[in-house]
Amino acid sequence: MKAEIISVGTELLLGQIANTDAQYISQCLSEIGIGVYFHTAVGDNWERIRLAAEIADSRSDILIFTGGLGPTVDDITKEVVCEYLGLKTVVHKKSYDRLCDRFAKMNRTVTENNLKQILFPEEAVVLDNDCGTAPGMYYERNGKIYIALPGPPFELKTMFSRYAMPLLRRKSSKIIKSRVLRIYGIGESAMENKVRDILDSQTNPTIAPLLGNGDVTLRITAMSDNENDAAKIIAPVETCLRERLGSYVYGTDNDTPESVLVDLLLKSGKTISAAESCTGGLIASRITDVPGASGVLKESFVTYSNEAKHKYLGVKECTLQEYGAVSEQTALEMAYGLIMNTGCDVAISVTGIAGPGGGTPEKPVGLVYTGTALKTENGIVTNVRQNNFVGTRDKIKFNAATTAIIDAVNMIKKQDER
């Protein structure tokens, strides 16, 4: 079955809010094998909503309307849909009682405009709103399904998962399952060249490359009768892709570089510290965004000045004078000094030029050195990478932090494999 989501709200067209409702519904429908072919956004205008309904009706089997179920004059979605379908509305007794009870608990009086929210066609299934005052609607006719849902995300998600999804699940005999491979350190075009023959031969599962926030993803999607069979379809393709891409694959599904790093550290019982110059604490911030980070993050330093690099990390003054703060030698001494001074198991260092000023022909904006030090049974292993990033100051800082985190992930993995 083909589904279409019609999101109603002028605020969407003005860019005042992001359309997370459509994203959520699409994700849910994919789990039960219903494909979403179109997303439509339309303002709070009777004729335009009706036109959107007509177009969707001509090409889709399931029409899902979001937003415009409230009590104000511009909340007209349900009225337009019912007029388009030729359905008359009456007071829905259960919804009326729930509305009155909700207002009584808040010591408020039900006003006349609130009553429009509990008017529904007798032929429709009314979807309870457990988080607000506007119920939704599910109506089926001649093999077509029409659903109206509230716009506020928390109300929509609760209503859709509890009441709409069970009804839609009965309409699909298939499920769609996806596996996402998260890749870093290789561009989209270079990655595609490595797996081009696999992409060209795809049927079921399908493989889609996507650009993320500094990384690349490959989404492997299979359609089958059940989750187990879908997983079996995905597994050999995932294995083949991993063999081609090797260490460029740092995680799967909802992983982030920092979540992978924290997970590795927790499993191995290791601690980590960070010494940051141009990233200004971004690495530590991203690590602490991950639940459980308190069990692995030992210390963090923002050593922006040469004096701080010398004072807290032991970077030699002669190193700074001869090679400069932005150099392989300084990054190495930052990481080594950090692991010695804090007693951590893994140390990350970053030093570079984030711009927009400060660059020279020898050391341009975007030049960043990322260092890693790892304590082993045979001593401390170190590694420094030279990076040449492009883009805005924020982008350079973000990519530098990501690279440093991924470098630490790869070093830990290599050590654990020995």
Structural domains in the chain plus CATH codes: 2-169 (3.40.980.10), 175-252 (3.30.70.2860), 257-417 (3.90.950.20)
Six token digits for residue 66: 């979001």
**pLDDT value of residue 302:** 98
The residue-averaged pLDDT of 65-86 equals 97
The residue-averaged pLDDT of 310-330 equals 98
Q: How far apart are CA 3 and CA 169, in angstroms?
A: 13
**pLDDT value of residue 30:** 85
Phi and psi dihedrals of 163, rounded to 5? -120, -40
Q: How far apart are CA 416 and CA 313, in angstroms?
A: 27
Which pLDDT band, with edges at 50, 70 and 90, does 280 fall under?
A: very high
The residue-averaged pLDDT of 44-70 equals 98
pLDDT digits (tens, 9 = 90+) for 185-202: 998 899 999 999 999 988
**pLDDT value of residue 174:** 83
Q: Is the pLDDT of residue 388 over 80?
A: yes
* Other beta carbons within 10 Å of 247: 15
Which pLDDT band, with edges at 50, 70 and 90, does 344 fall under?
A: very high
Please, what is the Cα angle at 253 between 248 and 257, to 5 degrees?
50
The answer to whether the pTM exceeds 0.85 is no
Q: Is the pLDDT of residue 212 over 80?
A: no
Residue 110 gets which letter from DSSP? P
Beta-ladder partners of 350: 276, 370
For a pLDDT cut of 90, what percent of the chain falls above it? 90
The residue-averaged pLDDT of 352-364 equals 96
pLDDT digits (tens, 9 = 90+) for 221-256: 999 988 899 999 999 999 999 999 999 999 999 999
**pLDDT value of residue 211:** 79
The residue-averaged pLDDT of 76-105 equals 96
**pLDDT value of residue 417:** 81
Q: Is the pLDDT of residue 293 over 90?
A: yes
Mean pLDDT of the chain: 95
